[in-house]
Amino acid sequence: MVRLRPWSRDRHSPHHDAGLQAERTAMAWQRTALGVGGVSALLLHQTGGSLSAAWPGLTGLALATALLALSEWRYERNVSRIDPGSDPLRAPLMLLLALTVSSLAVLAIGLIVVTG
């Protein structure tokens, strides 16, 4: 009798750990939020107390906090909706995240160029 290794199982068989994918996605969102928060904190540190130069950092911190809350809410929603054949990915939410992170990157580069 040949014994199959765990990694050689049939790809079309149902996955028994259905919640792990949602957990990995939530952890990736949390890492993104922490990265945005860290860069935003550095931007605040570089302002030297100028309120007009602090708005990109303050905006980034607010968005990082919102992203942490959103990732937790989304994780809970996705785990409760796991069904074979369902698609929990929502394109508008992904677009909003991509635009937010890209905007913060452009603002950070602009602030570095202006203050540097």
- Tokens 């992904």, located at residue: 94
- Name the nearest CA neighbour of 62 among 50, 53, 73, 54: 54
Mean pLDDT of the chain: 79
Collapsing DSSP to helix, strand or coil, 2 comes out as coil
Tell me, what's the pLDDT at 13? 53
d(Cα 45, Cα 108) in Å, to the nearest integer?
12
Q: Using the predicted structure, report yes or no on whether residue 16 has a pLDDT greater than 60.
A: no
Question: Structure pTM?
Answer: 0.57
Handedness of CA 63, 19, 85, 6 (dihedral sign): positive
What pLDDT band is residue 65 in, cutting at 50, 70 and 90? very high
Q: Using the predicted structure, report yes or no on whether residue 21 has a pLDDT greater than 90.
A: no
Please, which residues have CB within 8 angstroms of residue 42's CB and are 6 or more apart in sequence? 57
